[in-house]
Amino acid sequence: MSNHPRNVISPGRGQNLTYSIVQDLGIAVVTGKYSGKNPFPVEADLCKQYGASRSILREAVKMLTAKGLLGARPRQGTWVQPEESWNLFDPDVMRWLLERKFSLSLLIEFTQIRLAVEPAAAAMAAMEAGPGEKAAIERALNRMIAAEHGEDDPLTSDIAFHISILRASGNRFYAQLRELIETALRFSIRTTNRVKGVRLASVNDHKKVSDAILKGDAAGAEAAMRDLIEEALHLIRKGEGIDAKGERVLLAPARASRR
Kindly state the smallest distance separating residue 54's Cβ from its own copies, in Å: 9
Q: Which does 17 bind (CB under 5 to 8 A by kind): its own copies, DNA, none?
A: DNA
Q: Which positions touch DNA (CB under 7 A)?
A: 2, 14, 16-18, 42-44, 51-56, 58-59, 72-78
Q: Which is nearer to its own copies, 166 or 212 (CB)?
A: 166
Kindly state the smallest distance separating residue 136's Cβ from its own copies, in Å: 15
Q: Which does 44 bind (CB under 5 to 8 A by kind): DNA, its own copies, none?
A: DNA
Q: Which does 9 bind (CB under 5 to 8 A by kind): its own copies, DNA, none?
A: none
Q: Which is nearer to DNA, 51 or 150 (CB)?
A: 51
Q: Which is nearer to DNA, 46 or 117 (CB)?
A: 46
Q: Which does 194 bind (CB under 5 to 8 A by kind): DNA, its own copies, none?
A: none
Kindly state the smallest distance separating residue 44's Cβ from its own copies, in Å: 16
Q: Which is nearer to its own copies, 79 or 194 (CB)?
A: 79
Q: Which positions touch its own copies (CB under 8 A)?
A: 10-12, 14, 18, 22, 55, 58-59, 62-67, 70-73, 81, 83-85, 87-90, 92, 106, 109-110, 112-113, 115-117, 119-120, 124, 171-176
Q: What is the DSSP string of the chain?
A: ---S---SPPBTB-SSHHHHHHHHHHHHHHTTTTSTTSPPPPHHHHHHHHT--HHHHHHHHHHHHHTTSEEEETTTEEEEPPGGGS-TTSHHHHHHHHHHS--HHHHHHHHHHHHHHHHHHHHHHHHH--HHHHHHHHHHHHHHHHHHTTSS-HHHHHHHHHHHHHHHTT-HHHHHTHHHHHHHHHHHHHHHHHHH-PPPPPHHHHHHHHHHHHTT-HHHHHHHHHHHHHHHHHHHHHHHHHS-SSS--S-----PPP-
- Measured CA to CA, the distance from residue 232 to residue 225 in angstroms comes to 11
Q: Which does 161 bind (CB under 5 to 8 A by kind): DNA, its own copies, none?
A: none
